[in-house]
Amino acid sequence: MQKTALIAGASGLIGSHLLPLLLASGRYEKVIAVGRRPVPVVHPKLEQRILDFDHLEDHRMSLIADDVYCCLGTTMRQAGSREAFYKVDYLYVVKLAALTAGNFATQLLLVSAMGADASARIYYNRVKGEMEDAVRQTPFRAIHLFRPSLLLGERETQRPGERVGAVLLRLLNPLLRGPLRRYRAVAAGTVARAMLRAADAETSGVQVHPSDEIARTGALGL
């Protein structure tokens, strides 16, 4: 039986690669994209729901799906403060997980980050770890936590320094071998493919996907 996918963060770096994969997949007969603004995509499978994440509970009945893909996330620079970063990367994510699990979604596929650890000294990693701990408590049949390393891809707003950094990372990747392989930068499209492959696997329990595994599975065809 074909399923319904819900994606949050479809306008972001990973989400913008994931959305077309979901729409092209025979797994889904409907794809619901939720966000603060619409994405410039028209497709017979696609339903866009514009909502306020500060009042996500008011939109509970718009959050009914089988598989939930969460690509929400920001950076400290983009957020502007610790409080704003925490709101997006912890509160919004945990609230979305709780509401969709309460609506009987079966799988959560969530973009976290390498180094996520609730006891980490670095604030970014600590918030990601706290978020992971919270969503682990939600009653999905399967929870997939993706922890990519540095991401490669064209962002909506990318500074010249970031473009130079991406070139350097591509040059550095072949030098990172053995145990260092996990630190290789990974393309956003690769992460997106790995997420869809994980959903297709129909596993159960909590699965953590480190960056080197993401690179391997995301490199395979769908």
Helical H runs in 173-210?
188-201
The whole-number mean pLDDT for each consecutive block of 10 residues of the chain, a chain of 222 residues, reads 94 96 97 95 96 95 97 90 96 98 98 96 96 98 95 61 51 54 80 97 96 90 66
| Terminal CA-CA length for the chain | 19
Per-residue pLDDT at 161: 43
Per-residue pLDDT at 159: 43
Does residue 54 lie within any of the structural domains? yes
Does residue 43 lie within any of the structural domains? yes
Per-residue pLDDT at 5: 98
Does residue 214 lie within any of the structural domains? yes
Structure tokens at 126: 């600590």
Does residue 44 lie within any of the structural domains? yes
Contacts of 185 (CB under 8 A, 6+ apart): 149, 150, 151, 152, 166, 169, 170, 172, 173
CATH number of the domain encompassing residue 116: 3.40.50.720
Does residue 163 lie within any of the structural domains? no
Nearest to 206 by CA among 131, 145, 146: 145
Q: What's the CA gap between 89 and 112, in Å, rounded?
A: 9
Per-residue pLDDT at 3: 97
Count of domains for the chain: 1
Domain hosting 75: range is: 3-151+187-218
Contacts of 179 (CB under 8 A, 6+ apart): none
